Amino acid sequence: MKSHVFRTGFGRAGLLAAAILVSVFFCLSFCLSQVPTPTQARRLILKDGSYQSVTKYEVHGDRVRYFSAERGEWEEIPNSLIDWDATGKFEQGRLQGKVAPEAVELDKELEAERKAEQARSPQVAPNLRLPDEGGIFLLDTYENQPQLAELQQSGSELDKKTKSNILRAAINPMAGARQTIELPEAHAKIQSHTTVPSLYINIDLNSNDAKQGAPATVQAASGEPSPLPPTGERFKIILVQVKGGKRIAGGINVAVTGKMKTDERFVASTVTTMTGGWVKLTPAEPLATGEYALIEMLGKEAMNLYVWDFGVNPAAPANAGTWKPDATDAQPKTDQPADLKKREKQ
């Protein structure tokens, strides 16, 4: 009798639990059916193929004012730069919860472009990338913040649009000649606050833009061009001596036979090849406070007489014009024109 009562009670409880589960299931199904399908953010698609992610926009004559979904602020763009047909098609698909084919292709193109740009601009610190146009940069740390400082060749005035080109001095073997590399002032403009700065190099190694028209190769006494060192041995860091308010980066002695012998103080360093044509040069040990320079070797015993100078001084003031981490992981050196602020590339 007790066993029958137990089975009966269990059966009723089981039926009640099943009924509750069914009710919960239908309730959840109904609630989920009432939740709208997520749609893509609104876009203003430009005629150049890029787009602006926006939350809203207003058309005022020949200008379009929009609130950027990425930067959280109002911006403007000329009406003539917007592809309104493509924008309309995308908006229609967005409202219908569909992904427009044009948007899919555009996203693929932008993603491929983003990856290609990142390959040209390797990341050297969180949210800090090298520029894709090349140059020579020193990675510094100032007040616990990583910064990139661009190094310029001493005594040269380079066109910023062709910074990857460099100057090379003419080296003509002359019996008994000695040429000293002297740098003006006692200290370089760029001072590293860390004792182990990394140098990032990406320049045109075949540039013939010498001040006196010197070729990229060094002419030996025989008149035959001397082969240039491989990339990993092309650049070195040297210690610079300060004398009489000037810096002596090194010199070249030329024997009667025409053989050159450099008089520099090399700093042991490690070389790492990176993407985008960049080479990373890092001292093997911490550098003492003082003056240094990056030199280009033009042969086994010859060097470019134009160097990239820098100093090491943890107590030095902040360097001017440095590149700092950007939360968007983009590194424009200057602000974009107000008329066209394109979508920031990640």
pLDDT band at 92 (very low <50, low <70, confident <90, very high): confident
pLDDT value of residue 69: 83
pLDDT at 340: 37
Average pLDDT over every residue of 197-222:
59
Confidence label for 262 from pLDDT (cuts 50, 70 and 90): low
Residue with tokens 């001017």: 320
Return the higher-pLDDT residue of 93 and 151.
Answer: 151
Give me the chain's average pLDDT, please. 74
> 302 or 325: whose pLDDT is higher?
325
- The percentage of residues in the chain with a pLDDT greater than 90, rounded to a whole number, is 34
> Average of pLDDT values for 210-236?
58
User: pLDDT band for position 302 (50/70/90)?
Assistant: confident
Residues paired with residue 229 on neighbouring β-strands, in sequence order = none
Domain segments of the chain as ranges: 1-29, 42-120, 127-312
How many CB atoms neighbour CB 59 within 10 A? 12
pTM: predicted TM-score of the whole model, two decimal places = 0.60
Q: Which residues of 239-252 are buried (b: 16+ CB within 10 A; e: fewer)?
A: bbeeeeeebbbbbb
- Per-residue model confidence as pLDDT tens digits over 33-44: 444 444 456 888
Given a cut of 50, is residue 160 above it in pLDDT? Answer: no
* Separation of alpha carbons 209 and 229, rounded Å: 19
Mean pLDDT value of segment 247-255: 72
Q: What is the tens place of the pLDDT at every residue in 269-279?
A: 999 999 988 99
